[in-house]
Amino acid sequence: MARAHPGPPPRMSNVGQRSRRCTPTGYTTGHDTTAGGQVTNTRRWATKEEVAEHIRVSVKTVQRMTARGELTAHNVGPRLIRYDLNEIDAMLTPTNPESAVR
């Protein structure tokens, strides 16, 4: 006897969908460009685990820093939170290079 419901529809391929490219330091989603069309910045997205490894702290410390407002978390989906590694690198760069040398 034939089934009334043939089951789930076949899976569609990702053709035409925007994909993210994985890089060694996170995910990129494209380029910010100037009016002249020159690439100015590539966003490097990372999970809290990748951020913790990048700045050599625990995941809990990343969560605390986010709660205190020291790190900015971006919602890139309904349940996806990512950090921009460019922002984190800028935060870690000393403002006075002479003060970094001891």
Write out the DSSP string of 21-78: EEETTEEEEEEEE-TT--EEEEEEEE-HHHHHHHHT--HHHHHHHHHTTSS-EEE-SS
Quickly tell me which residue has 């089934």 as its tokens: 3
Q: What is the pLDDT of residues 14-28, one digit of tens each?
A: 444 444 444 444 454
31: number of Cβ within 10 Å:
12
pLDDT at 74: 95
The structure's pTM equals: 0.55
Token pair belonging to 81: 């939170």
Evaluate the CA torsion angle 81, 52, 45, 40 in order and state its sign: positive
Q: What is the pLDDT of residue 18?
A: 43
pLDDT at 21: 44
Paired with 32 in beta bridges are 41
40-99 tens-digit pLDDT: 568 899 999 999 999 999 999 999 999 999 999 999 999 999 999 999 999 887 777 676
The domain ranges of the chain are 43-95
